[in-house]
Amino acid sequence: MIMNTQQTAKHVLMVLTSHSELGDTGEKTGFWVEEFAAPYYALTDAGINVTLASPAGGQPPIDPKSELEDFQTEATKRYDADADVQALMAKTSVLAEVNAADFDGVFYPGGHGPLWDLTDNTDSIALIESFLKANKPVAAVCHATAAFLNVKDAEGEFVVKGKAVTGFTNSEEDAVQLTDIVPFLLEDELIKRGGDYQKVADWNAFAVQDGLLISGQNPQSSELAAAKLLAALATV
C-alpha cells in the first residue's frame, strides 16, 4: 500500500476593501498595495493557496498614494509586473459568499478604505467570528485592524478586550494629515474596547500576536504580520 505523505496545502482568505472615497475630500483611497503584495507573496511563496475577496467583489480600489515612488518595495514591484495576480485581483469573490470553513486563516490588508467598509460589515464580522470559533488565526495590518473592532466572542465580549493588539497610530494618522478626515482614530477605538494597544515609534515595523489575533501597526509591518500568520497556520 502506497501512503500519501504529502500534506494538503493550507488555504488563506485575503479580504480587501471596496471603499474608494477618502471622506469628503474628493480624494481617493482603497487598499495599500504593499500591505497586500508583501503578505500575498510571503504566503504563496510558502506554498499557501490564497483566495481574494472584498465586500463588493471584483476589482478593489487601490489607494493612489500607495503607488507613488516613495512607497515602492520589492513586493509592490513584483505585483506591478505580475499579470496573473492582477487578473485575480480584478475578480475578487464577494465577501458575503465566502465560507470560513473553506479556509485555514484570514488576512486583512490595510489602506484607509477598511475604516469605512470593513468595520461594521456584518459579513466580515461573522466571518472573523467563525474563524476564531474554529480556532483559526485572523491577521490584519495597519487600518485593517478596524475589522476586529466589532467582533465579539461567545460571551458577547469584544474579542480585542484584554488582547495585545496594534494598528495605525494616532500620531501616524496625524503625520499623514488625515486625523480630521477619517471616521475614527483606530488607536482610540481599540483602547475603548479594552484592547491592550501596543505600538512602537511611527513608521517602524511592529506586529503582535495574542492567541489567534495577529495585528501589524503600519505598512512597514505587513511582512511581520504575514510571518506570524504563517507560523500560526503551521499549528492549524
Q: Which domains does the chain have, with CATH numbers?
A: 11-233 (3.40.50.880)
Alpha-carbon Rg for the chain in angstroms: 17
Instruction: Tell which residue, 6, 115, 117, has the closest CA to residue 53.
Output: 117
Residue with cell 493612489: 64
Q: How many residues belong to the chain? A: 236
Tell me which DSSP letter residue 118 carries. S
Q: What is the rounded distance in angstroms from the CA atom of residue 149 to the CA atom of residue 125?
A: 9
- Is residue 221 within 8 Å of residue 199, measured between CB atoms? no
In sequence order, which residues have a C-beta less than 8 Å from that of residue 108 and are 6 or more positions away? 14, 15, 16, 114, 118, 139, 140, 141, 144, 145, 147
**For residue 199, what are the contacts with CB-CB under 8 A and spacing of at least 6?**
166, 169, 187, 206, 217
The model carries a pTM of 0.96
Q: Which three cell numbers stand for residue 212?
A: 489567534
Give buried/exposed letters for 72-93 (b at 16+ CB in 10 A, else e).
ebebbeebeeeeebeeebeebe
Supply the pLDDT for residue 3: 44
Beta strand 164-165 with 196-197: parallel, antiparallel or unpaired? parallel
Diameter over CA atoms, the chain: 67
| Residue 199 pLDDT | 98
* Structure-block grid coordinates of residue 183: 471616521
**How many Cβ atoms sit within 10 Å of the Cβ of residue 166?**
28
Which pLDDT belongs to residue 236? 83
Q: Please, which residues have CB within 8 angstroms of residue 203's CB and are 6 or more apart in sequence?
A: 172, 218, 220
d(C-alpha 185, C-alpha 183), whole Å: 7
Per-residue pLDDT of the chain (236 residues; tens, 9 = 90+): 444 434 689 999 999 999 999 999 999 999 999 999 999 999 999 999 999 999 999 999 999 999 999 999 999 999 999 999 999 999 999 999 999 999 999 999 999 999 999 999 999 999 999 999 999 999 999 999 999 999 999 999 999 999 999 999 999 999 999 999 999 999 999 999 999 999 999 999 999 999 999 999 999 999 999 999 999 999 98
For residue 50 the three cell numbers come to: 490564497
